[in-house]
């Protein structure tokens, strides 16, 4: 049994962050809060999602695992305002969502209908960059004008995004004073970079667009970690995105 | 001959109310005003439409019947402001529409090009509910998240809309104090309900969306009557919608 | 070599005016400014485009001719604000566009990839009409409701647009006091008119929509010249549109 009240805004933003990667998700409910870990069908991208019990108005649960149809929930929540309180009740194989004068009941999915949870790979990032969600979103959009791939990289003082198309290029460069933070975990100052699929970055940039701070952990041809908080710091999302092979 | 001046708003809203059901309509013009009665091609829904001569700035007519291409009129009226005065002149087989510096002349349709007017069935409604157009529109949209059918019903104190999908359900319940009115014509208090096509209700809800009051006359597996006024009470629209058979 | 700084607004509006007719254009750069003369693939419409060096913040060039992918430039400039200063540097076969923290480099096109410049025909117009860009745009849109062709014409005191469909007609008439100017170059007062493709007029009306004054030079079955200024009078665009044959 799970019974909780949550602000529309928190539930909408949380579900959006997950649907960037998966349409259906296994979610673990425990006394302290909930978490989910899901990979996209191609295993190129992964999301880790945490939401503390403190993010809820009320929160009661027996420890359990539920499998949710996120796309259907998202459709229903289009009718809720960001300021509505949403009541969620999970009982046996059904979930009730109530807000205003409306009550929806939807079926939970079979736990066997979706893939096993992915293992989270250990990634030794060489650099840590923090920028605003708005700037990240804008830069990814700018790269899309010339290429389907986008390189992210930095030195110890500058961060850049670069897109190399067949004949055209785009480069965005932000120096230390234009960034919230740039620092090297490996203590070096040389230029590091990795290449990524624009498609996934575009999706992620939609979810992070509202975040005041987005952290980017990166290195040389290693996965990129894109992290941000929501729900006044009571929720945390991090995406891992596998690099593409860059042709010299 | 028909010659009249009318506010853009009244003409636009009136034509929209008709186009929910038909693209072309037979309209009866007489000294007191005009009326139309048209069924959709499948005979599932019907519209009765009245507009008093008082809704016009000027109004002159010999008694006559014209057949109008409503969709073409709607397209032309997109260019008129709601505050424009539209001059309509019908002469022989042509209609002139003038506003601002523009003058359109369009052909009337042959009266033989469209179906005969439907007979309006006698319906003995068991209950009468009045809600705002906005709430009606919202509820119909909410039902669409889970099903193509929507049940409307009431007791003597509560009105509800219910949608039953394959695995999911939606229920909206409004009690007496949330409604403008709920009353039983049959003097009973039991729950009555009928099932309807979401598609038609969605269309109707667009036309009634601006009305401050929408009346719903309903019963057990009988047609629903959706009524509302426009043009400051000088115009009246009522839709009749046949019920679907509900599977137990 | 070409190196210039220009206001985003001026560059966006200039490129839009050209893309009404062509996706790729040959542009002549000289000390005084730049000009282009391009015909659409069907040779029905032609654009003459001039932008003075005074419209630029900075402007340096050796005399040269470049062939530009306007559609690609337009896509990139969607990311620039109208108040941004855009730096353009052309060097050998590449053009760099920089604004904000972004830098794009795109390939110039081969001069052999596009058609030769058209000769501008001598047209002896019989009348000269000046109206606002907004009114021109609105009138062309209004004509589109009934026909794919639109006649433009005037006497010595009135300007009109007329669309004749299979069964329907539209006529917009503006008298001297509703126009900025109407005058006859041929000294006559009879009604002259020519018929044009709605499609091209619609496109042109988008580009002129913001201009406070649009000049229309016309006659009896001769090309229409649509002219307007931009960039505070430092830029000038004129379109020539071939007439259609009107059936009596």
Per-residue pLDDT of C94-108, as tens digits, reads: 999 999 999 999 999
Sheet strand arrangement including C192-197: B58-61, B2-7, B85-91, B94-99, B102-107, C169-175, C158-164, C149-154, C192-197
Confidence band for B77, pLDDT divided at 50, 70 and 90:
very high
**C106 and A173 in contact by Cβ < 8 A?**
no
| Beta-carbon separation of A168 and C101 below 8 A | no
pLDDT of residue A248: 58
Q: Using the beta-carbon criterion (under 8 Å), do A102 and B141 form an inter-chain contact?
A: no
Report the pLDDT value the prediction gives residue C116, as an integer from 0 to 100.
86
Tell me whether 0.90 is exceeded by the ipTM: no
Q: In the prediction, which pLDDT does A247 show? A: 66
Report mean pLDDT in 10-residue bins for chain A, 248 residues: 96 97 96 96 95 98 95 96 97 94 96 88 94 94 93 96 92 95 94 95 92 95 96 96 83
In total, the C-beta contacts within 8 angstroms joining chain B to chain C are 33
Q: Which of A140, A160, A170 should we substitute to test contact with C (largest number of C Cβ atoms within 10 Å)? A: A170
Per-residue pLDDT of chain C (248 residues), as tens digits, is: 899 999 999 999 999 999 999 999 999 999 999 999 999 989 999 999 999 999 999 999 999 999 999 999 999 999 999 999 999 999 989 999 999 999 999 999 998 888 888 998 899 999 999 999 999 999 999 999 999 999 999 999 999 999 998 889 999 999 999 999 999 999 999 999 999 999 999 999 999 988 999 999 999 999 999 999 999 999 999 999 999 987 65
Cα–Cα distance, C202 to C199 (Å, whole number): 5
Q: Which pairs count as long-range contacts for C33-36, CB under 8 Å and 24+ apart, including other chains? A: C33/C59
pLDDT at B115: 84
Q: Which of B76, B101, B105 sits opposite C174 (nearest CB)?
A: B101
Exposure on the CB side of residue A195, measured as CA atoms within 13 A:
11
Q: How far is CA B172 from the centre of its chain?
A: 23
Task: Report the pLDDT value the prediction gives residue B167, as an integer from 0 to 100.
Answer: 87
Task: Give the gap in angstroms from C-alpha A70 to the nearest C-alpha of chain B.
Answer: 13
> What is the reported pTM?
0.89
CA-nearest of A194, A184, A208 to A129 is A184
User: In B, what residues contact C, Cβ < 8 A?
Assistant: 72, 75-76, 79, 101-107
Distance from CA of C117 to the nearest CA of B (A): 39
Question: What is the CATH T-level fold of the domain A127-241, as seen in this structure?
Answer: Proliferating Cell Nuclear Antigen (3.70.10)
List the single residue in C with minimal CA-CA distance to B97: C170
pLDDT tens per residue, range A16-74: 999 999 999 999 999 999 999 999 989 999 999 999 999 999 999 999 999 999 999 99
Q: At the topology level of CATH, where does A2-112 sit?
A: Proliferating Cell Nuclear Antigen (3.70.10)
Residues of chain A positioned with their CB less than 8 A from the CB of B169: 104-105
Which among B76, B101, B107 has the least Cβ separation from residue C167?
Answer: B107
Q: Are C23 and C70 in contact (CB under 8 A)?
A: yes
**Residue of chain C minimizing CA distance to A137:** C79
Residues A150, A161 contacting (CB under 8 angstroms): yes
> What pLDDT, in 10s, does the model give residues B145-184?
999 999 999 999 999 999 998 889 999 999 999 999 999 9
Name the residue among A141, A168, A174 with its Cβ closest to that of C106.
Answer: A168
The pair of three-digit structure tokens given for residue A103, joined into one six-digit string: 């009550």
Instruction: Check CB contact under 8 Å for C107 and A173.
Output: no
Q: Where are the domains of chain C?
A: 2-112, 127-241
- Of chain B, the percentage scoring pLDDT greater than 90 comes to 89
Q: Do A169 and C72 touch (CB under 8 A)?
A: no
Tally helices (H) and strands (E) across chain A: 4, 18
Q: Which of B79, B105, B107 sits opposite C141 (nearest CB)?
A: B79
Picking from B167, B168, B172, the nearest residue to A102 by CB comes out as B172
What is the rounded average pLDDT for all residues in chain B? 94
Which residue of C lies nearest to B95 if distances are taken between CA atoms? Answer: C168
Q: Which residues contact A59 (CB under 8 A, 6 or more apart)?
A: A4, A5, A33, A53
Which of B142, B168, B169 has the CB atom closest to A79's CB atom?
B142
Is residue B6's pLDDT more than 70? yes
Q: Is it true that C2-112 and C127-241 share their CATH fold?
A: yes
Q: Distance (Å) from the C-alpha of residue A79 to the closest C-alpha of chain B?
A: 7
C75 contacts in chain A (CB < 8 Å) = 145
Scanning every residue of chain B, which has its alpha carbon at the shortest distance from the alpha carbon of A71? B145
| CATH number 3.70.10.10 is the correct assignment for the domain at B2-113 | yes
The answer to whether the Cβ–Cβ distance between C168 and B102 falls below 8 Å is no
Query: For residues C155-174, b (16+ Cβ closer than 10 Å) or e, as one string?
Result: bbebbbbbbbbeebbbbbeb
The pLDDT of residue B247 is 67
Q: Which residues pair with B90 in a beta bridge?
A: B2, B95
Number of A/C CB contacts below 8 angstroms equals 34
């Amino acid at each position: 049994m799970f019974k909780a009240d949550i602000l529309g805004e928190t539930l909408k933003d949380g579900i959006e962050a997950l649907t960037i990667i998966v349409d259906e998700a296994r979610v673990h409910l425990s006394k302290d809060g909930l978490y989910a870990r899901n990979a996209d069908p191609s295993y190129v991208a992964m999301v880790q999602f945490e939401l503390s019990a403190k993010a809820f108005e009320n929160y009661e649960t027996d420890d359990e695992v539920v499998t949710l149809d996120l796309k259907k929930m998202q459709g229903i929540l289009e009718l809720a305002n960001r300021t509505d309180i949403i009541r969620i009740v999970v009982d046996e194989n059904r979930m009730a969502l109530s807000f205003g004068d409306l009550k929806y009941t939807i079926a939970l999915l079979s736990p066997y209908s979706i893939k096993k949870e992915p293992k989270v790979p250990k990634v030794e990032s060489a650099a840590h960059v923090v920028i605003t969600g708005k700037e990240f979103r804008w830069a990814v959009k700018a790269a899309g004008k010339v290429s389907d791939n986008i390189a992210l990289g930095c030195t110890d003082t500058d961060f850049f995004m670069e897109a190399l198309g067949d004949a055209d290029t785009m480069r965005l460069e932000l120096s230390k004073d234009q960034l919230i933070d740039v620092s090297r975990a490996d203590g070096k100052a040389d230029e590091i970079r990795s290449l990524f699929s624009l498609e996934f970055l575009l999706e992620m940039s939609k979810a992070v667009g509202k975040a005041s701070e987005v952290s980017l952990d990166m290195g040389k041809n290693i996965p990129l970690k894109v992290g941000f908080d929501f729900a006044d710091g009571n929720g945390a999302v991090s995406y891992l995105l596998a690099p593409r092979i860059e042709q010299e």
